[in-house]
Amino acid sequence: MKLQGVELTKEVLAAHLEWPGIRSAAKEEIDAGIDKAIQYGFHAVYCTHTFWQRYMADRLKGTGILVAAPFDHPYGMADPKAKTAMAKAAYENGVRTCDLMPSLGAIELRDYKKLVESYKCVADVFEEGEVKGFCDCTGDPDIMNMCIDAIIEAGCTHVKSYDAKGVGIPMNRIQAVLQRLEGTGVKLKASGCGKFWSTAVVVGALNAGAEYSSMSNAPQIVDELPIFEALYSSVFA
């Protein structure tokens, strides 16, 4: 069984996953989360508390695991200047991948220029690494496409599929995002209500063209790979 042309193993699958599992501000829980991220070899691990960004970056140095940070999620209310300041501080702390919430006001008013600005104010800060613009993939498809176009124009590296309704993103929306990104150089981080995602759905999204995926149950997704292989090996061979 293969994943994006490579033989699928637990290690290969984990390297295509981001884990937003460290949410505590307690050092012992942060250390335990870092140890787990290293154990699995995830692509990236979230740092939701800015105080610990530098600490996590130092501990993960040399592992190949990126420190990820969210900006302006879930409210999408921050001024672009405030987002820029947050991005600069995070970048200096060693954060090299971020999830960026756009201006929800700009979306509500269909103000495309302001929408681009709400992504670009962070994309311009990250000289290297990843800037993933949130894009709600469960609502109006015209708004979804407007956000995708703004993410591309702003210079972000990825679209982050987002589930604003908490019901899970249909696979046909993942396919629609990938089709709109075709030929742009912008990639997809497939996510969205990950607690509902199974190993089969994640492998399907990755083989459809997503660069990697993100979900809170990433360790379980990896641990259940042998079950998935036993059930679907003839389909995904």
- Given this model, what pLDDT does residue 236 score? 53
34-48, 133-147, 167-181: least confident range:
167-181
Parallel, antiparallel or unpaired: strands 2-3 and 6-7: antiparallel
Region 87-104: mean pLDDT is 97
pLDDT of 194 strictly over 60: no
**0.75 exceeded by pTM:** yes
pLDDT of 92 strictly over 70: yes
Chain-centre distance for alpha carbon 165: 17
Average pLDDT for the chain: 93
- Given this model, what pLDDT does residue 230 score? 87
Q: How far apart are CA 111 and CA 146, in angstroms?
A: 10
The 10 Å CB-count burial string (b at 16+, else e) for 61-84 is: eeeebbbbbbbbbeebebebeebb
pLDDT of 237 strictly over 70: no
- Given this model, what pLDDT does residue 74 score? 86
Region 161-165: mean pLDDT is 88
Question: Could you tell me the pLDDT band of residue 193, with boundaries at 50, 70 and 90?
Answer: low
**Domains annotated on the chain, with CATH:** 2-236 (3.20.20.70)
* Backbone region of residue 41 per phi and psi (left: phi > 0; alpha: psi in -120 to 50; beta: other values): left
Q: Are 216 and 21 in contact, with CB atoms under 8 Å apart?
A: yes
* Residues 217-228 pLDDT 10s: 999 999 999 998
